Amino acid sequence: MRRVGVAALCAALGGCVSTETVQFRAANSQQQALIRDGQAALVSRQKFSLVLVRPGSRQLQSGGRPIFVVNMNNLGRTPVDFRVGEVVVNQVVGENEFPMTVVTYDMLVREEKSRQVAAAIVTGLAAGANAYNASRVGYGTYTTPSGRSGTFYSPTANVIAQGNAAAQNDAMIAGTIEQGQRNMAQLEQTVIKDNTLMPGEWYGGALYLSPPTTPPSGNQKNYTIVISVGADRHVIQISQAPTGA
């Protein structure tokens, strides 16, 4: 029997997606790397705040955006501000650092709006083709045994086809709109934004980053996320490597 290679098997199954996992490194005695619900996480405590960071999913897609769930707590007696624009992310390659982009809520909303425009165009084209095909239903030709030929038209079949097409198009357009609304609502509910934390208050959300590049020295990617909560700076050190490496 012929041996099938991994690449051929991936192609036959619709493509393989490589994944990566992350690990946290405690940078000082005020930090602790731990496990939360089977996932790596890190707790960082400063004088007036506490920050808990974990990956947004158990595995990250290689080449994709890392997403981290960040939760923070104001331990002080006065309100403190958290601003997404003050989050600094740098990839560490040898002794050099290269900035990574924090993908903000506004950037994600613009991307989603662009996606919705593209989806609306595709849906409109599909609906137009569906309506055209339905308009041709009921028309046909015939040939008798004697060789006589002609055309016929069934208005009943045409009306039924166009009615079905209209219902299908309405459902398709409604589905496109509803999916866009769900995506926008999810961004609003989950993505981290600027926030003032009152004393004792917890706040958190999903932090999106631009994909780190693969360094020449190997597959492991190292980067730091600096999260400021008021005057406190939490330096989170992360290693990201292929799953199983």
DSSP per position, the chain = -PPPPHHHHHHHTT----EEEEEEE--STTEEEEEETTEEEEEEE-SSEEEEEEESSSSEETTS--EEEEEEEE-SSS-EEE-GGG-EEEEEETTEEEEE-EE-HHHHHHHHHHHHHHHHHHHHHHHHHHHHHHHTTTEEEEE-TTS-EEEEE-HHHHHHHHHHHHHHHHHHHHHHHHHHHHHHHHHHHHB---EEEPTT-EEEEEEEEPPPPPPTT-S-EEEEEEEEETTEEEEEEEEEEETT-
The mean per-residue pLDDT over the stretch 56-60 comes to 91
How crowded is the C-beta side of 2, counted as CA atoms within 13 Å? 5
Report pLDDT digits (tens) over 223-238.
999 999 999 999 999 9
Report pLDDT digits (tens) over 145-198.
888 898 888 999 999 999 999 999 999 999 999 999 999 999 999 999 999 999
Q: Domains in the chain and their CATH numbers?
A: 14-104+193-242 (2.60.40), 108-187 (no CATH)
Report pLDDT digits (tens) over 6-18.
444 444 444 567 8
pLDDT for 16 equals 62
